[in-house]
Structures are given as structure tokens and as C-alpha cells.
Chain A
Amino acid sequence: MIKNKERITPGQLMILIVQTQIGVGVLFLPSTVEAKAYNDAWIAVILGGGASAALLLAIWALGRRFPGMVFFDFLPLLMGKPLGKIVHTIYAVMFIAECGVILAQFGDVVRDWIFSSTPSWMILGLMLAVSVYMAVENLRFITRFFVLTFILIFVLILIALYAYREAEWLYALPIGNAGFLNILKGSALSMNSFYGFEILLFAFPFVQGSSRSVLKAGMYANLFSTVVYAFLVFTCVLVFTPLELRLIPQPILYMVKALSFTVFERADLYFLAIWTVVVLTTVMAYLYMAAKSVSSLFGKSRHAGTVPVVAAMIWILAIYPHDQDMIDWMQRIVSALTTLTLVVLPTLLLVISYIRKIERKEQVQKG
């Protein structure tokens, strides 16, 4: 049973989802999407947001049919025990790998932009140490921390707003230049940044209130992330030409780097300092999800003991790649994994649940 002190409100759920979604992608999204969708990258991101809303809906529909149960509790009910265990393992591997890739990308940015000679094992170790500290707690503690740091996302937007001084509106024209196919390709690439909504798989039973309010919170969260992403990508499209964006992997940092205010210079350092916290929340959430799935794989009900072990695995995974090729290679594997676990499987499970009419009959409680 879920204890009362572990429950979160729908409002907290919204912030939990937003903080898990918005992470390293903030920096990489503009130039990755732009590589395919050119100056229509922002349209691609909005489409990507729409797709992630659909996936969120699938996860919600799945969770609604099993009130009071976490995803891994009802997985065996849908797929049978042996198959359920295999799928469960895939999910655990996905969470660990995704977290590793996020940290590897983070380490890369920190090396390129601030600490060129500090070894990445140190920086990533510190990140993970803080994350472990938080992830051993229950969902409510984590969510409270996320709510506390939510305001930082607005600070990032504020810094990015200043770049409009150098914006050239003509770069966004002609709209639709890239062609529909390329925009779709771009939005497929943008999906990576929208992952994080899967935290609903874990958080659903902890939310107070009706399942409608859960859906509402989830949709608002996804809308918020979409708007933030689309805004940042649109800003980059206005500031840089397509050719420049291809050369600059982290365009947002690049455009704020040259800003000089009366009192301080190098706005990119301020941006990075805040962005670190935004990434940290994502790492915490993934560490939590990874530890939860690993501990329940071994039939443990508490996840706190698993967290350091999982963190060590993630740490090794994150410091292993040492050049862009290896990170790309890891990213491809993780993309395949996430597509399987977050796009294919939830839809499949939902279909199974509807066709075989499997759901939890008794309502635990309402309201």
C-alpha cells in the first residue's frame, strides 16, 4: 500500500514531469533538429511535443487501468511472468543507459565550455553523488526538490531572451522551406528531449486525486516542455543561419557567450551553472527510475540500497566514451531502446490490456 506521506499532488506531478523532461536536451536540441528540418526546426519540435503527448496519453491510459499499482507490478499481469521479467530487464537497462548517455553528454559540455582539464570522472562523480543523496528518498522528497528548483528553468529562458537583441526575423522565413518529410525527420530527432514523461509509470499511483487530474497535470507538463523547447529552438533559428547551426553543437550557449552586461561578462557561465541544476534533476529522476526498476526486478520493495550500485554502473557507463563517435554510438543504442520501451511497448501493453480485458477490478480509493 502507498503511505500517505509518500503522496504527491497533481501540481507536483506536473513539475516532476517537466523537470525530468527538460535536461541536457536544452542545449543540443536546436542543432540536432536543425540538421534535418533547417529553419523549420521549431515546427518539428512542436510536432515532437504532440507525439510525446500521445505517448503520455498511452502511459496514462495504462496506469488508469491498474489503480494503486506501479508499472512493474502490473507488467507480469499483462505479459505473463517469464516475458514480463524480460521486458522488465529491458526497462532497467534502458533507464541505466539513458542516464549514462545524459551524463556523458553533460560531461562533454562541461569539458568543452568550462573545465577543460578537470577529468570527467570527477565531475560526473560529483553529479552522481548528489543524485544518490536525493534518489534514495521517496518520490515526495524528490518532487519537493524539483519544485524548489523549478524556477531555474525560467532563469534560463530569461537569459536566452536577451539574445533577441541580435535576432534576425528573416532567418525564420520561408516557413515550410524544409518540406514536410524533413520536418517529420526533425521531430523524430527531437523526441529524445521529450523522454522523461515515463516517470508517470512510477508516479501514477502516488498522485492524490482522480485520474483525470493526473492526465491534466501530465498534459500541462508536456505542453510546458514543448513551449520551452520550441521557444529556445526558435530563438536559435533567429540568431544563427542554418550553416552556422550545423557547426555549433550548443547554439544557446554560443549565443549567450557574447552577451556582455554592465556588471558581468560571459553569460554562458551563468547559463551553464543553472543548466547544471536542470540536468541534475533529470539525472536524479532517471537514477530513481533505474534503481526502482532494478530493485523490483529482484523482488525488493525498498530501492534505497540499490541506488549506489546503479549509480556506480551509470558512472562507469558515462565515463567510458571518450570521443564523439562513441557518444553517438551509445546514443543510437539508447534511441533504439527508448523507442522500444517508450513508444512500442506502452502502446502494445495498452492494446493487450484492452483486448484481453485485463485491469485491476477493485477501486482502491477515490478522490
Chain B
Amino acid sequence: MRHAIRAAALAFLALAASGCWDQQLLKDERNISIGGIDTASKGLIRATVSIRDILVSESGSKDTSEVHSVVARSTDHARELLDDEVSGQYSSAKMRVLVLGEEMVRSRDIMPYLDVYYRDPRSPLNARVAIAQGKAEDIIRLKMVGPKTIGLHIDNLLKSMELQSQVPSVTIQTLHPLDRGFDFSLPYLKLTDGMPKVEGIALFNGVHMTGKLNLDRSKIYLLLAGEKNKNLRITLKIQNDDKDEGYDYTTIDVLKARRKLKIHVDKEGRPRVALNVRLRVSVIEDPSNHLYKKEVLHKLEKTLSERLTNEADSVVATMQEARHDGFGIARRIMSFYPNLWRKLDWKEVYPSIPFDVGVTLDVINTGIIR
């Protein structure tokens, strides 16, 4: 009897204690995989989302994508309107990519539209962020690329680009640009012949996009920023052969990159940046040289490092022109020269800070031939 009462009490507790106030069933939820924000007239925004669905039939399962687009006052207002449009409970918890239209980031402050992502505990803070040339809506409207839904496709695309150190890896969380002392840059997507492609990176000054770099130069940018990921390959033109252009190019694979960033302040309180990158590379492709001779190898090293230094100089010039402080020079001055920082008018000073950039490199292997 005693046991029966105990068991009954336990069963009651188990039922009562596991309340259903907060249950959210997956079968009722419609998860979006990619979202886009564009400008609309009168200060409104156009939000576009793609919802991923899986159709299960006798021949197996198939991914489908459903696109909705609304004009709204704010991001959460857009959620509300979208929820009215889609069947089931709208949820952005599993969003993988957030695409922002170029006009949006050039003309408006995007931070108000991201606020809800930082505030909501279920928000996808680790979603990747990218910029779309033209409108984000156009990319999301593609629905499918090959067998994959657009959300999955863009996410995988960005991920592999990150691994090859072609674009920086940025999520909504790491975007939060409060007082960090450096500016962020984002992958720049472009629609070419119905295919979304990463064109390069968009450079930001604060919350506004102010410039861009193409893919070749974004690799140099990441090298200089000390953000080399798993792989990084660069193809450079090292000579000018009039007869046969095939011999002009050399491809190197960067195995190891060591970056040194130092800030020197002279007596008048003018900062000067010394940025040195030392690379250990392996030669992947080099049709013109046969590297069994030491002198030829050293000459190649010299040419390559000159080329890279030139490229680096021009990347830095572009950055300064865009007033984009991607290397965190401001943060370093805040940390190492707090007194100087209080006196500096950073927005004025940054574009004219002299950079001494140097790239040196060692070839450590050349494949299975020399």
C-alpha cells in the first residue's frame, strides 16, 4: 500500500513537474535556412526568407525551398508578418546565413535590424553573414542551386571559402561592433548567370560598407590580418613571356604565416605601423623554373616576396581609402598607448597613418619534382 501511494505520487509529480509551458514541437515549426534584408522605400525594409522543407515520397526524400518576402518596419515586425504568411510556427533558430543587400549596408545603419538577434535567447548567433551585390532577395529567390536549397548552398559555399582563407569567418555574434577597435569585413556575394558566387569581401567602416576587395586581394588581406585558415593558395604572375603566357604564373601554397604587427609612436605622437609577414610556402605550380639550382630558387623567392609586398601595399592603400581598420590598429593604440588614444581623432588620423609592409617568404618544398 505504502509503495503504491509512493509510486502514484511519483507518477503525479513526473506528470506535473514536466510542464508544457515551453514546449515547441519540431513538427509545428517552420525553420528558415537563409534570411535576407534589403532596403525598401520610406525607411522600411524588405525581408526575404527561404524555408527548408523535406518532402518524403516513395522514391526517398527531397529538399524543397519555399520563399517568402515582406516589407516591414523592423526585423521582428518582419517575423510577425512572415508568421502570418507561412503555415505553422515561424522560427529563425536554425538560420544558417544572413544576407544583407549592398544598398542596405552602404546607406543605412544595419545595427538596429540586428538587435533582435542579440536579444532573443533562441536566435542563431552563429549564422554566417554576407553582403549581396544588388539585392539579397534576388539570391534567395533562386530557391535551389542544383540539388541543394539556397540556404544550404550559400552556407557550404561560405564555409569552404573560409577554409581556403578567401573570406573571413564572421558570424552574427562576432559582428557586434561595439567599441572593439577594429572594423569587420564580410563576404561579398554576386549573382552571375543565375549562380551565386563569392566575388570578394566587403570592407566596412563602422557599420557602413565603404569598399571592397576581389578574391585575389582578399587572400592577401587575410594574410596581413593574421587570419590564415586551413589552406591558402595564391597564383601570381612572376614574369612576362611574350610567346607563351602559360609560363608566366606561379602558384604557391602557404603552409605557415607568421604576422608581426607593431605600432611605433614618434616624439610628436604620430603612430606608424610596421607590418611584417613571414611565409613558409610550397610551390605547387611553376612551369618556367626548374628549381634544382639554389640560385634559381632564391631568385624565385625574391620575386615572389616583391610581388606579395606590392600587393600588400595596394591592399593597405585600399583599406585606408575605405577608412577600414581591419587589422585592429585602433585597438592596439587603445591597449598600448591609452594616453595617445584619448588625444587622437581616429577618423582623421587613420587614412594617413604610414604603413611599412613587408612580406618575406621561404620555399620549403616544391612538390615531387624540383
**A residues at B contact (CB < 8 Å):** 112-119, 122, 126, 166, 168, 170-171, 173-174, 177, 241-244, 247, 257-260, 265, 268
Query: In the bound complex, how far is the Cα of B174 from the Cα of A113, in angstroms?
Result: 20
Query: In the bound complex, how far is the Cα of B329 from the Cα of A170, in angstroms?
Result: 11
CB proximity of A137 to chain B, nearest CB, Å? 19
Given A243-B178, A258-B171, 5 extra CB contacts under 8 A? A166-B174, A171-B331, A174-B335, A257-B173, A258-B125
Assess whether B125 is in contact with A118, with CB atoms less than 8 Å apart. Answer: no
Query: In the bound complex, how far is the Cα of B22 from the Cα of A195, in angstroms?
Result: 34
Q: When the two chains form the complex, which single residue of B22, B121, B180, B331 contacts A118, counting CB atoms closer than 8 Å?
A: B22
CB proximity of B125 to chain A, nearest CB, Å? 4
Assess whether B335 is in contact with A173, with CB atoms less than 8 Å apart. Answer: yes
What chain B residues lie within 8 Å of A247 (beta carbons)? 178
Assess whether B22 is in contact with A114, with CB atoms less than 8 Å apart. Answer: yes
Closest Cβ neighbor of A117 among chain B residues: B21
What chain A residues lie within 8 Å of B173 (beta carbons)? 257-258
Assess whether B22 is in contact with A174, with CB atoms less than 8 Å apart. Answer: no
Query: In the bound complex, how far is the Cα of B172 from the Cα of A117, in angstroms?
Result: 26
What chain B residues lie within 8 Å of A113 (beta carbons)? 121
CB proximity of B213 to chain A, nearest CB, Å? 23
CB proximity of B92 to chain A, nearest CB, Å? 14
Given A177-B338, A241-B179, A242-B179, the answer on whether A257 and B125 have CB atoms closer than 8 Å is yes
Given A170-B331, A174-B338, the answer on whether A241 and B126 have CB atoms closer than 8 Å is no
Closest Cβ neighbor of B17 among chain A residues: A126
Assess whether A241 is in contact with B180, with CB atoms less than 8 Å apart. Answer: yes
Q: When the two chains form the complex, which single residue of B126, B172, B176, B336 contacts A260, counting CB atoms closer than 8 Å?
A: B126
Q: Does B256 lie at the interface of the complex (its beta carbon under 8 Å from any beta carbon of A)?
A: no
Assess whether B179 is in contact with A244, with CB atoms less than 8 Å apart. Answer: yes
Assess whether A174 is in contact with B179, with CB atoms less than 8 Å apart. Answer: no
Query: In the bound complex, how far is the Cα of B22 from the Cα of A118, in angstroms?
Result: 6
Assess whether A118 is in contact with B19, with CB atoms less than 8 Å apart. Answer: yes
Query: In the bound complex, how far is the Cα of B334 from the Cα of A241, in angstroms?
Result: 12
Assess whether B338 is in contact with A115, with CB atoms less than 8 Å apart. Answer: no
Q: When the two chains form the complex, which single residue of A122, A170, A174, A258 contacts B126, counting CB atoms closer than 8 Å?
A: A258
Q: When the two chains form the complex, which single residue of A116, A170, A243 contacts B335, counting CB atoms closer than 8 Å?
A: A170
Selected A-B contacts with CB under 8 Å, 10 pairs: A117-B21, A119-B21, A168-B331, A170-B328, A170-B331, A257-B125, A258-B125, A258-B173, A259-B126, A265-B126
Closest Cβ neighbor of B180 among chain A residues: A241
Query: In the bound complex, how far is the Cα of B119 from the Cα of A247, in angstroms?
Result: 10
CB proximity of A253 to chain B, nearest CB, Å? 9
What chain B residues lie within 8 Å of A122 (beta carbons)? 19, 21
Assess whether B178 is in contact with A174, with CB atoms less than 8 Å apart. Answer: no
Query: In the bound complex, how far is the Cα of B181 from the Cα of A117, in angstroms?
Result: 39
Closest Cβ neighbor of A119 among chain B residues: B21
Query: In the bound complex, how far is the Cα of B117 from the Cα of A258, in angstroms?
Result: 12
Closest Cβ neighbor of A118 among chain B residues: B21
Assess whether A116 is in contact with B22, with CB atoms less than 8 Å apart. Answer: yes
Q: Does B278 lie at the interface of the complex (its beta carbon under 8 Å from any beta carbon of A)?
A: no
CB proximity of B247 to chain A, nearest CB, Å? 43
- As a 0/1 sequence over residues 159 to 180 of chain B, the CB contacts with chain A under 8 angstroms (1 = contact) are 0000000000001111010111
Q: Does B208 lie at the interface of the complex (its beta carbon under 8 Å from any beta carbon of A)?
A: no
Given A170-B328, A258-B171, A258-B173, the answer on whether A244 and B21 have CB atoms closer than 8 Å is no
Assess whether B121 is in contact with A112, with CB atoms less than 8 Å apart. Answer: yes
User: B residues 273-313 with Cβ under 8 Å of A?
Assistant: none
What chain B residues lie within 8 Å of A258 (beta carbons)? 125-126, 171-174
What chain A residues lie within 8 Å of B181 (beta carbons)? 170, 241
Nearest first, the 3 closest Cβ-Cβ pairs linking A and B are A173-B335, A258-B173, A118-B21
Given A117-B22, A173-B335, the answer on whether A243 and B171 have CB atoms closer than 8 Å is no
Query: In the bound complex, how far is the Cα of B178 from the Cα of A173, in angstroms?
Result: 17
What chain A residues lie within 8 Å of B179 (beta carbons)? 241-244
Query: In the bound complex, how far is the Cα of B254 from the Cα of A107, in angstroms?
Result: 52
User: B residues 221-277 with Cβ under 8 Å of A?
Assistant: none
Assess whether B121 is in contact with A114, with CB atoms less than 8 Å apart. Answer: yes
Assess whether B332 is in contact with A170, with CB atoms less than 8 Å apart. Answer: yes
Assess whether A115 is in contact with B22, with CB atoms less than 8 Å apart. Answer: yes
Query: In the bound complex, how far is the Cα of B169 from the Cα of A166, in angstroms?
Result: 12
Given A114-B121, A118-B19, A258-B125, the answer on whether A244 and B335 have CB atoms closer than 8 Å is no
Q: When the two chains form the complex, which single residue of A119, A244, A257 contacts B176, counting CB atoms closer than 8 Å?
A: A244
Closest Cβ neighbor of B341 among chain A residues: A174
Q: When the two chains form the complex, which single residue of B19, B22, B126, B178 contacts A244, counting CB atoms closer than 8 Å?
A: B178
CB proximity of B17 to chain A, nearest CB, Å? 6
CB proximity of A326 to chain B, nearest CB, Å? 22
Most buried by B among A126, A166, A174, A242: A174
Assess whether A173 is in contact with B336, with CB atoms less than 8 Å apart. Answer: yes
What chain B residues lie within 8 Å of A112 (beta carbons)? 121
Most buried by B among A117, A122, A258: A258
Query: In the bound complex, how far is the Cα of B123 from the Cα of A112, in angstroms?
Result: 13
What chain B residues lie within 8 Å of A114 (beta carbons)? 22, 121
Closest Cβ neighbor of A166 among chain B residues: B174
CB proximity of A36 to chain B, nearest CB, Å? 17
CB proximity of B108 to chain A, nearest CB, Å? 22
